[in-house]
A and B are shown apart, each in its own frame.
Chain A
């Protein structure tokens, strides 16, 4: 959904007509019907990777406060756990990329794991700022504490640096511009695409869906930090459910438009200049924590 939407907005911005936003779903359905070709070089890792990668992203989608808060699984949305599960999914993705034994898989894998590893401090620091501002160490608590009073960013404007740091992280984690080019056809510029290069059929569908799901998760998390309302709580009635679904779609649309705008207006950064992107994200996150600490003092 989010991937298709971004693609559609992007095509419109670039003056093209663009494919329908739900094209990815059609692709997944097609892929699921196709034959699953497995590399004869690989080991059991090739079979485990799609389940593990999609599994960890579903884990995040279920645990994080995206459309509802206060569920029974919310205790697992501890910020350290969330960061670690993100890293776990990258680990499996890279392992699977290597197993087929082509040089492209290795290339993409090496780059993907470099990014995932080096973004770890930024993610943790960003979450720490949120935790400090709200006093809850689960992300669910971070959002749900704000449902009644308006968005966290409106309540605590000093978190704007952390919010930007999280957005930069999201762009890197979901392999968007300026870190990776999602639409690339050239193997040498691929990062995420290269890691799923040697998969086909249902496994490819699972991996692609995992990556799209991750984008949706990050998009909704970012949106909920600004405006959590309306969100599902345990006592919601049927009408609220409907409005929540509508609002979620609206949130997705807005952020998708922003990403498409971003992707159309900036160029991809050379791999070796990613450190600038990385360092700026890190210092933004650090600045966010410092501001959060300072605001407590006053």
Chain B
């Protein structure tokens, strides 16, 4: 395809989102379907252009931006690096829009469909704009569009909980946006319209102090947006309040925009990253991975569980990036490159798995009429097709072979082991810490995912709505199962994908070859999957030969004489008990057992109920004190506002004198 055709398609996929927002606002009963259709078509187009540019050698520069007065001073282009993100955002938007058509029609009471459609389209428009922008002015404008529309999307169902989540988000989003803005202003010296490439040359002669402040602000800003611990508190709250397809967009696209911003600044703009910043990124990543996975093991609310899984995945990604920066500074370029590509591949993989799981959670929540895992159960029997699709996503999210997240994990661990011998003592220690932590996290991720699937899909239904659940229609199944297929394909064709985006050190230069090589090890994902399949198939054949398959009957589970009810099933609280116990020093959960006597004459006949309190350590220890501090400060300010005119005048005088003293 020619560059011109690609440019037109790119522009169409970008401006089409704005068009979709306009269409969605029309007072027509087809507006909902039409606007989501436009979003889906444009997103698909965007993904195609993204794939072309990501595998091409030269960037695509949109010339038309200067012609449009609306985009005053902004420039748009797509280079090989940003094209990966553009493909990702557009691809996830396609699935989200396809899912939104039936999903929103099902929920007319919960959401104002028109508003949700307008906001979602603008949200995607903002995300695409961030990626396309090549100067700070455009980057920050679209960043703000993206952040603000998400705030209104949280409020979409108008509930009090949503308002609370919305304001928590608004505070943190504002802090992060202003930190990023301040950081970028410091880097650019106020030149907002310079292209990033010009900016990269300017940052070389910045004074140390402003570089220090800028880097600190940027780590906070992007870390907060990516949901790194301890700035993550907004993420679980927001995920449980926004409409499902927005949840998928949030985890599959918006968090990745934060990674994009981080990489754009730290890899392309900064002259070099100081050691303290490298270690900050590295430890924030490790902390997020561990905290994320422990809380996802504990959580009993499906959307919050998945939100913590996102936090865990982004923690792993930032650990990879931190280690890459460290290895780069130590001169171990092979490890640095492998870690960056592992992070990018994990980002793609997690986007596919997480958004698929979020979309599925919408179906499950609608069926069980509750977000609690303990109100689901038995859905594999009622929704067999969906359950197979979700099972594949679960295996993917649990870092099990041969799905895509496993491949990212493999590249990272293998590269680290390969780089272990030639590295300095400091890097050796870091690698050992990382390997132990990452394998610990991926191990527990299996636990969390097994819990999710076992509670939601297996055994008996735990509530009446879940028992009456019906198989969702094809319009729901298709987006979810195609995402699970995509997760598998991405794993199987990982060498080709990595080769396409230029990871020549990991995938061979020959595009058709099916092998990953790094750190002295190699893996052929296709062989692995095929051999696993052959073994299981062979087993199936042999079993058919040596024993009579027809000799099977169904019978109730052995119950010891008392019929089994769903209330006797193992609950998700009980399931996580061993982990809760082993990590009680950190998690500090509280168990309250209520004992109420049933009869007066026998004290052994009692009714017991148990409540488990999950402490939000960060929220209680960090955010609540800060909030209390601000309230105290505000109450001090109130004393000044006494209404006494003389006091105000003396304050003004004081301020003037101070200003003059500083100025002169």
List residues of A whose CB falls within 8 A of some B CB.
32-45, 51-52, 54-56, 58-59, 62, 73, 75-76, 78, 80-81, 83-85, 87-88, 90-91, 94-95, 98-103, 105-107, 109-111, 113-114, 116-121, 123-125, 128, 131-132, 135-138, 197-198, 201-202, 206, 271-272, 275, 282, 286, 289-290, 293, 296
Would you call A43 and B443 a contact (CB within 8 A)?
no
Looking at the complex, which one of B381, B524, B566 makes contact with A75 (CB distance below 8 Å)? B524
CB neighbours (8 Å) of A116 from chain B are 443, 446
Looking at the complex, which one of B417, B527, B558, B559 makes contact with A128 (CB distance below 8 Å)? B417
Would you call A41 and B532 a contact (CB within 8 A)?
no
Would you call A36 and B539 a contact (CB within 8 A)?
no
A-B contact pairs, 25 of them (CB 8 A): A34-B551, A36-B553, A38-B554, A42-B381, A42-B557, A43-B381, A43-B458, A76-B524, A84-B400, A88-B400, A91-B400, A95-B450, A103-B568, A109-B570, A114-B579, A117-B444, A121-B440, A123-B439, A124-B435, A125-B439, A131-B417, A132-B421, A137-B521, A201-B551, A289-B432
CB neighbours (8 Å) of B436 from chain A are 121, 125, 282, 286
Looking at the complex, which one of A52, A102, A131 makes contact with B557 (CB distance below 8 Å)? A102
Nearest to A105 among chain B residues (CB) is B570
Given known contacts A36-B552, A94-B454, A131-B417, is B531 in contact with A73 (CB within 8 Å)?
A: yes
Q: B364-388 interface mask toward A, CB cutoff 8 Å, 1 = contact, 0 = none?
A: 0000000000000010110010011
Would you call A38 and B552 a contact (CB within 8 A)?
yes
Further contacts, 20 of them, CB under 8 A, given A37-B554, A94-B450: A34-B551, A35-B551, A39-B554, A39-B557, A40-B556, A52-B536, A58-B535, A59-B531, A73-B531, A81-B401, A81-B523, A99-B380, A102-B564, A113-B446, A117-B446, A118-B444, A132-B420, A137-B520, A271-B578, A289-B432
User: For the complex, what is the distance from the CA of A114 to the CA of B459, rounded to whole Å?
Assistant: 20
Q: 10 smallest A-B Cβ distances: which pairs?
A: A106-B570, A120-B443, A137-B521, A101-B459, A43-B380, A117-B443, A55-B536, A98-B454, A114-B578, A121-B439
Looking at the complex, which one of B432, B440, B570, B576 makes contact with A103 (CB distance below 8 Å)? B570
Given known contacts A114-B579, A198-B557, is B539 in contact with A55 (CB within 8 Å)?
A: yes
Looking at the complex, which one of B409, B543, B553, B566 makes contact with A80 (CB distance below 8 Å)? B409
User: For the complex, what is the distance from the CA of A114 to the CA of B443, rounded to whole Å?
Assistant: 9
Give B416-458 interface residues, CB cut-off 8 Å to A: 417-418, 420-421, 428, 432, 435-437, 439-440, 442-444, 446-447, 450, 453-454, 457-458
Would you call A42 and B578 a contact (CB within 8 A)?
no
CB neighbours (8 Å) of A100 from chain B are 459, 557
Would you call A76 and B528 a contact (CB within 8 A)?
yes
CB neighbours (8 Å) of B395 from chain A are 88, 91
User: For the complex, what is the distance from the CA of A87 to the CA of B447, rounded to whole Å?
Assistant: 10
CB neighbours (8 Å) of B559 from chain A are 102
Looking at the complex, which one of A80, A105, A107, A296 makes contact with B414 (CB distance below 8 Å)? A80
Given known contacts A75-B524, A88-B401, A95-B453, is B581 in contact with A272 (CB within 8 Å)?
A: yes
* B283 at interface by CB-CB < 8 Å: no
Would you call B582 and A55 a contact (CB within 8 A)?
no
Would you call B556 and A39 a contact (CB within 8 A)?
yes
CB neighbours (8 Å) of A197 from chain B are 558
Q: How far is the CB of B412 from chain A (nearest CB, A)?
A: 10
User: For the complex, what is the distance from the CA of A272 to the CA of B579, rounded to whole Å?
Assistant: 10
* B308 at interface by CB-CB < 8 Å: no
User: For the complex, what is the distance from the CA of A121 to the CA of B439, rounded to whole Å?
Assistant: 5
Would you call A103 and B581 a contact (CB within 8 A)?
no
Nearest to A96 among chain B residues (CB) is B458
User: For the complex, what is the distance from the CA of A130 to the CA of B659, rounded to whole Å?
Assistant: 68
Q: B614-657 interface mask toward A, CB cutoff 8 Å, 1 = contact, 0 = none?
A: 00000000000000000000000000000000000000000000
Would you call A87 and B582 a contact (CB within 8 A)?
no
Would you call B554 and A40 a contact (CB within 8 A)?
yes
Would you call B564 and A101 a contact (CB within 8 A)?
yes
* B398 at interface by CB-CB < 8 Å: yes
Would you call B443 and A84 a contact (CB within 8 A)?
no
Would you call B417 and A85 a contact (CB within 8 A)?
no
Would you call B531 and A202 a contact (CB within 8 A)?
no
CB neighbours (8 Å) of B540 from chain A are 51
B395, B399, B436 interface centre (most CB from chain A within 10 Å) = B436
Given known contacts A84-B406, A120-B442, A121-B436, is B380 in contact with A41 (CB within 8 Å)?
A: no
Would you call A103 and B569 a contact (CB within 8 A)?
yes
Would you call A296 and B443 a contact (CB within 8 A)?
no
User: For the complex, what is the distance from the CA of A293 to the CA of B428, rounded to whole Å?
Assistant: 9
User: For the complex, what is the distance from the CA of A150 to the CA of B180, rounded to whole Å?
Assistant: 60
Would you call A137 and B519 a contact (CB within 8 A)?
yes
Q: How far is the CB of B371 from chain A (nearest CB, A)?
A: 20
* B555 at interface by CB-CB < 8 Å: yes
Would you call A101 and B460 a contact (CB within 8 A)?
yes
* B410 at interface by CB-CB < 8 Å: yes
Would you call B398 and A91 a contact (CB within 8 A)?
yes
User: For the complex, what is the distance from the CA of A100 to the CA of B444, rounded to whole Å?
Assistant: 24
Would you call A87 and B557 a contact (CB within 8 A)?
no
CB neighbours (8 Å) of B409 from chain A are 80
* B78 at interface by CB-CB < 8 Å: no
User: For the complex, what is the distance from the CA of A113 to the CA of B401, rounded to whole Å?
Assistant: 17
* B469 at interface by CB-CB < 8 Å: no
CB neighbours (8 Å) of B519 from chain A are 137
Q: How far is the CB of A298 from chain B (nearest CB, A)?
A: 13
User: For the complex, what is the distance from the CA of A132 to the CA of B423, rounded to whole Å?
Assistant: 13
Looking at the complex, which one of A35, A40, A84 makes contact with B399 (CB distance below 8 Å)? A84
Looking at the complex, which one of A36, A45, A107 makes contact with B458 (CB distance below 8 Å)? A45
* B577 at interface by CB-CB < 8 Å: yes
* B575 at interface by CB-CB < 8 Å: yes
Would you call A91 and B446 a contact (CB within 8 A)?
yes
Q: How far is the CB of B207 from chain A (nearest CB, A)?
A: 41
Would you call B574 and A135 a contact (CB within 8 A)?
no
Would you call B569 and A106 a contact (CB within 8 A)?
yes
Nearest to B453 among chain A residues (CB) is A95
CB neighbours (8 Å) of A101 from chain B are 458-460, 557, 564, 566, 569
User: For the complex, what is the distance from the CA of A58 to the CA of B533, rounded to whole Å?
Assistant: 12
Would you call B575 and A106 a contact (CB within 8 A)?
yes
CB neighbours (8 Å) of B536 from chain A are 51-52, 55
User: For the complex, what is the distance from the CA of A111 to the CA of B570, rounded to whole Å?
Assistant: 12
CB neighbours (8 Å) of B535 from chain A are 55-56, 58-59, 62
CB neighbours (8 Å) of A289 from chain B are 432
Would you call B547 and A41 a contact (CB within 8 A)?
no
Q: How far is the CB of B58 from chain A (nearest CB, A)?
A: 37
Q: How far is the CB of B313 from chain A (nearest CB, A)?
A: 17
* B594 at interface by CB-CB < 8 Å: no
Q: How far is the CB of B514 from chain A (nearest CB, A)?
A: 12
Would you call A78 and B521 a contact (CB within 8 A)?
yes
* B201 at interface by CB-CB < 8 Å: no
User: For the complex, what is the distance from the CA of A38 to the CA of B582, rounded to whole Å?
Assistant: 35
CB neighbours (8 Å) of B453 from chain A are 95
CB neighbours (8 Å) of B527 from chain A are 75-76
Give B113-137 interface residues, CB cut-off 8 Å to A: none
CB neighbours (8 Å) of B410 from chain A are 78, 80-81
Would you call B446 and A206 a contact (CB within 8 A)?
no
Q: How far is the CB of B553 from chain A (nearest CB, A)?
A: 6
User: For the complex, what is the distance from the CA of A73 to the CA of B527, rounded to whole Å?
Assistant: 9
* B1 at interface by CB-CB < 8 Å: no
Looking at the complex, which one of B399, B458, B522, B547 makes contact with A32 (CB distance below 8 Å)? B547
CB neighbours (8 Å) of A125 from chain B are 435-436, 439
Q: How far is the CB of B565 from chain A (nearest CB, A)?
A: 10
CB neighbours (8 Å) of A54 from chain B are 539
CB neighbours (8 Å) of A138 from chain B are 521
Q: B198-240 interface mask toward A, CB cutoff 8 Å, 1 = contact, 0 = none?
A: 0000000000000000000000000000000000000000000
Nearest to A117 among chain B residues (CB) is B443
Looking at the complex, which one of A56, A109, A121, A290 makes contact with B443 (CB distance below 8 Å)? A121
Given known contacts A35-B552, A76-B531, is B570 in contact with A107 (CB within 8 Å)?
A: yes
Q: How far is the CB of A116 from chain B (nearest CB, A)?
A: 7
Given known contacts A32-B547, A98-B459, is B555 in contact with A39 (CB within 8 Å)?
A: yes
User: For the complex, what is the distance from the CA of A102 to the CA of B557, rounded to whole Å?
Assistant: 7
